[in-house]
Chains A and B, each alone.
Chain A
Amino acid sequence: MLSVVARVVAMTIKELIQLRRDRLTFGMILGVPVMQLLIFGYAINADPKQLPTVLISQDRGQIERNIVGALERSGYFRIVAQVSGETEAERLVAEGAAAFVVTIPDRFTRDLLRGERPQLLIEADATDPAATSNAVAALSQLPRTALRHDLPGLVAEPGFEVVIHRRYNPEGLSAYNIVPGLLGVILTMTMVLMTSLAVTRETERGTMENLLAMPLNPAEVMAGKVLPYIVIGYIQVAVVLLAARFLFQVPMLGSLGLLTVALLAFLLANLAVGLTFSAIARNQLQAMQMTFFFFLPSILLSGFMFPFRGMPG
């Protein structure tokens, strides 16, 4: 019994000594929780507020001011622009500058006062349903809160109707957001990890010494290391795109050519990060830890896990 304790204590002491020697692992043990705390505390908000909203108003006046006031009071909407036409609003949404377009139609006030229940049109950028769902839910309260103060008794409840259009993703399918996002996640993960391991493996096993003693310069070693992973990266992209199309019914609408070109930049950036790690890491374990340290914030802050709109500007 006593000897069991002695042996476990011996193992524990040895582990602690090794852990202390391995600065990187030690740093990770402290660094990862701190990083997570900071990211979750300051940068991540699963219930994004103050979403940028564009207003198209063809009916200026008190009612308009009431509606805008009610939208802003809900906390979810922030009017960033007032435009006159559809096309301008469309452009702002497509650029990602706005998440909502609120259209107050002509004769809204007149129809409201006549009790004809006019329609207020709200278009939401639904590419990431999680980002806008709470705001959309809050809209159901709008007809009551908007008219409470100024027109009590003047208009019949519920006064007007809120019509919501979910742009780009009318059914609110999360697959539309997750599957393309997965492309970035998978590429970052494998490219950084594979390259950081690939070079570290050579140094760890002593084969790097051999390579450098042969007529091969470091740039050629790097190029030879990176090239196969570019090919693998494109294979991964093809697999994800095919799965998106046929398993998840996510259509590919953009230009495949442009995607191919842009991916090269993305792949090279990730491979460069991996190579950098492999130059710093002394063994494969360290390379993996560095990859994790890089991957964690990049996935948490990418908008894939948590809505991008919830992060501080």
Chain B
Amino acid sequence: MTPLAIDVEGLTKRFSGRAVVDKVSLKVPAGEVWGFLGPNGSGKTTTIRMLCGLLKPDGGRGTCLGLDILAEADAIKRQVGYMTQRFSFYEDLTVRENLDFVARLYALPDRRRQVEATMDRVGLASRRSQLAGSLSGGWKQRLALAACMMHAPKLLLLDEPTAGVDPQARREFWAEIHALARDGVTVLVSTHYMDEAERCDRIAYIAYGRLLAVGTVKEVVAGADLSTWIATGPGRDDVARRLARVPGVATAVFGPSLHVSATDPTVLRRAIEPFRGDPRLAWREAEPSLEDVFIHLIESATAAREKAA
């Protein structure tokens, strides 16, 4: 069995009494690429901060790279690479100065050569003297990745690294991630992009601080046990509006199509029955997409919370 790069159980964090991360358990085998998905404010950043020793959990325990997240936070900081949500390096320092600063902090041997090698590898060599603040979004992201990679961490925690980056740069970024994984690096990357989720070995979906689904994309989709119908045509917005209040049914509009999903096929059938005869719409049953599953998960989580409140 491969060792676990992340092995945490019951991780909990409260901010002013509110559980922002609620009993999260994760077992990430070394060398895998994991996607961490969930709506804004669901606790992704907070979870990642606890994993890299920045934030002390209020409950739960576990290890990162075999180091205890409570007792060995300092050792974790030295061995883990963490890319924060905002590209945070010094905008008034040049590319080379930024990397040099990081290299000094980690006390890397042969610092100069390492900095040069890093710049060469990520293609920043020709921009070495450019101020980091004047780089375009894609290059900033590369610099941030390079900075958290320089000390050759075995575990990378990347918090929304591709937010606001163009598709070309995203593709190159993912090529780099997979190259790292081939070298044995474990990667946990939070994202809002479905196509990025599909590039991961496994995904974890979090909402309201709780993990709602974990597994491969196939497993997550299958695990939701969802039935989905797709309606295409100009009447889709009306249908979406009228189905919005039906309990147990989730809707999502994708371009010309409306996806309607529910766990109970009879509930679904009954819900869409009144609209089946609409001549403007063409209906067909389909495999639920990952996004359908996420929408369903968040809607049932929201409904459960509202019931509890």
Q: Are these two chains actual partners, yes or no?
A: yes
CA gap between A216 and B54 in the complex, in Å: 11
Q: Tell me if B89 counts as interface (CB < 8 A to partner A).
A: yes
> Which B residues touch A214, using CB under 8 A?
77, 102, 105-106
- Are B91's CB and A213's CB within 8 A? no
> Which A residues touch B84, using CB under 8 A?
206, 209-210, 213
How many A-B pairs have beta carbons closer than 8 Å: the answer is 35
> Which A residues touch B54, using CB under 8 A?
209, 212-213
> Which A residues touch B78, using CB under 8 A?
215
Q: Tell me if A207 counts as interface (CB < 8 A to partner B).
A: yes
- Are B105's CB and A215's CB within 8 A? yes
Mostly, the B contact residues are loop
Q: Tell me if B52 counts as interface (CB < 8 A to partner A).
A: yes
Tally chain B residues at the interface, Cβ within 8 Å. 17
CA gap between A206 and B45 in the complex, in Å: 13
Q: Tell me if A205 counts as interface (CB < 8 A to partner B).
A: yes
> Which A residues touch B174, using CB under 8 A?
none
- Are A213's CB and B86's CB within 8 A? no
- Are A213's CB and B77's CB within 8 A? yes
Q: Which A residues, 138 to 180, have Cβ-Cβ distances below 8 Å to chain B?
A: none
> Which B residues touch A209, using CB under 8 A?
54, 84, 88
**A283 CB, nearest partner CB in chain B, Å:** 15
- Are A207's CB and B88's CB within 8 A? yes
> Which B residues touch A212, using CB under 8 A?
54
Known pairs A213-B52, A214-B77, A215-B78; A206 contacts B105 (CB<8 A): no
- Are A205's CB and B52's CB within 8 A? no
Q: Which B residues, 59 to 83, have Cβ-Cβ distances below 8 Å to chain A?
A: 74, 77-78, 82
Greatest chain A CB density within 10 A among B82, B88, B106 is at B88
**A297 CB, nearest partner CB in chain B, Å:** 33
Residues of A within 8 A of B (CB): 205-207, 209-210, 212-217
13 contacts across the A-B interface (CB closer than 8 A)? A205-B88, A205-B91, A206-B88, A207-B88, A207-B89, A209-B54, A210-B82, A210-B88, A210-B89, A213-B54, A214-B105, A214-B106, A216-B105
